[in-house]
Amino acid sequence: MIYLDYAASTPVSEESLHVFQQLSKECYGNASSLHDAGGRANEILAYSRQSLAAILGGEPDGIYFTSGGTESNILAIQSIINGLPPHKQHVITTSVEHPSVHHAVNALQRLGVKVTVIEPNQEGIITKEILKQALLPETGLVSIQHANSETGIIQPLAELATLLKERDILFHTDAVQTFGKMHVSIKELGVDALSISSHKVYAPKGAGAVYMGAHVPWKPIYQDTVQENGLRPGTVNVPCIGAFVAASEQIMLKIDQQQQLDIQLRDYFLQQLKKRKLSVRMLQESDQRRTLPHIIGCFFEGFEGQYVMLACNRHGICISTGSACASGYHHPSPAVKALHVSDRDALQFIRLSFGRGSSKDDIDQLLHTFESLQKEKKGA
């Protein structure tokens, strides 16, 4: 099988799997228990907070472990709003966020919180001007993703953060797609809260984290919860968290090397498209510096994306038509539509994404499948 869907999920690394197995065997105590087994589990949690905080450039007390990116987004947004005063109950987010962010703000809206959803410009970017127009005196929180999982477009968070800091507005970002793919620094981005997930960095599914600065006045949405300093209930999944942190440590060791490989693979893909004269058009032809190099969004002229994905699957190649969290819904992607793409073109959208182990041979096999599809259509 050729796997070109790393933006959706990654295989578990040997290092991460080893840590998960060892902790499952040797550190099975409840981290909230007062006996030695519980103490050992709590030590693993303490180390995990310190390590993850160091990677993000934050403080260990700001790390709260969750079950993944979706829960991280929901808990961060709702807990922050829950902690803000009545005169700061306005949330701004964007139309191109992960569904979990929309779930979070929709739930808040039903409780009476004012919500504004803003659109990016034609290049998919939220500019300071766009954000400024949406700000109100009662705005308390803005949530904007670091990069989109379908288009790969990176948002200028540091620029937006300066605008929000001037107005004392809290800033949350969904960094699930960028963590482990590029250097993510809380201080450099200027955000107050950040969400990440384990299964994007070669760790088992089932772990994630929220970072919230000590100045963030959040309040729990689950009352009387003791785990994770009250952020979420339930026995803490120490083996999965340990594996998540181990994978994060490993991925940071070769992050620059992997990024260069992703750039080389992307350039090779583009060169081969022209060489083979394939009717594949890139989602964004212009400034590639604004996109994650491991994500390629494109349109295969004359084919619906779902048909191309299934055809590739029959040839043992895994690609995507967009965000896996929206699979099963056959409609144009909001992230693609935001780039002023027609419904017809949006339904032709496909995404391939590289990761550890991806190669030029994988791309050659993919393009060979594209060539077969194109020949079949011409011969029809």
Each domain of the chain, given as residue ranges in start order, spans: 2-8+254-374, 14-253
User: Residue 323: its pLDDT value, please?
Assistant: 55
Position 284 confidence tier, pLDDT thresholds 50, 70, 90: confident
User: Residue 340: its pLDDT value, please?
Assistant: 85
For the segment 305-324, the average pLDDT, to the nearest whole number, is 89
Neighbours of 122 (CB within 10 A): 9
Nearest C-alpha neighbor of 53 from the set 223, 185, 206, 153:
185
Residue 325 a catalytic site member: yes
Nearest C-alpha neighbor of 289 from the set 93, 147, 126:
147
pTM of the model: 0.94
Position 185 confidence tier, pLDDT thresholds 50, 70, 90: very high
Question: Residue 363 above 90 pLDDT?
Answer: yes
User: Residue 154: its pLDDT value, please?
Assistant: 97
3-state secondary structure of 175: coil
Residue 95 to residue 291: CA distance in whole angstroms: 18
| Range name among 51-65, 107-121, 185-199, 276-290 with the lowest pLDDT average | 276-290
Is residue 68 classed exposed, middle or buried when 0-12, 13-18 and 19+ CB atoms within 10 A define those classes? buried
Q: How far is CA 264 from CA 259, 269, 290, 321, 359, in A?
A: 9, 9, 16, 23, 10
pLDDT tens-digit map of 37-57: 778 888 999 999 999 999 999
Question: Residue 283 above 90 pLDDT?
Answer: no
C-beta separation of 119 from 95 below 8 A: yes
Q: How far is CA 211 from CA 158, 169, 177, 205, 314, in A?
A: 17, 17, 15, 19, 41
In this structure, which CATH number among 3.40.640.10, 3.90.110.10, 3.20.20.80, 1.10.10.10 belongs to the domain 14-253?
Answer: 3.40.640.10
More confident residue, 345 or 241: 241
**Which positions ≥6 away from 73 have C-beta within 8 Å?**
98, 100, 101, 104, 143, 174, 195
Is residue 375 classed exposed, middle or buried when 0-12, 13-18 and 19+ CB atoms within 10 A define those classes? exposed
User: Residue 330: its pLDDT value, please?
Assistant: 61
Nearest C-alpha neighbor of 234 from the set 263, 258, 206, 275:
206
User: Residue 28: its pLDDT value, please?
Assistant: 85
Residue 26 to residue 272: CA distance in whole angstroms: 50
Quickly list H helices, the chain.
14-26, 36-56, 69-83, 99-110, 128-134, 157-166, 186-189, 238-253, 255-275, 305-314, 334-337, 343-346, 360-379
pLDDT tens-digit map of 190-218: 999 999 999 999 999 999 999 999 999 99
User: Residue 327: its pLDDT value, please?
Assistant: 55
User: Residue 224: its pLDDT value, please?
Assistant: 81
Q: What is the CATH T-level fold of the domain 2-8+254-374, as seen in this structure?
A: Aspartate Aminotransferase, domain 1 (3.90.1150)
Calculate the average pLDDT of the chain: 93
Q: Please write down the HEC assignment for all residues of 79-142.
A: HHHHHCCHHHCEEEEECCCCHHHHHHHHHHHHCCCEEEEECCCCCCCCCHHHHHHHCCCCEEEE
For the segment 317-329, the average pLDDT, to the nearest whole number, is 72
User: Residue 30: its pLDDT value, please?
Assistant: 79
* Amino acid letter, residue 31: A
User: Residue 232: its pLDDT value, please?
Assistant: 93
User: Residue 313: its pLDDT value, please?
Assistant: 96
Tokens describing residue 145: 């993703």
Question: Residue 322 above 70 pLDDT?
Answer: no
More confident residue, 336 or 317: 317
On the CB side of 73, CA atoms within 13 Å amount to 25
The separation between CA 306 and the C-alpha centre of its own chain, rounded to angstroms, equals 22
Nearest C-alpha neighbor of 280 from the set 269, 290, 288:
269
Nearest C-alpha neighbor of 146 from the set 168, 119, 176:
176
Nearest C-alpha neighbor of 101 from the set 9, 157, 173:
173
More confident residue, 117 or 285: 117
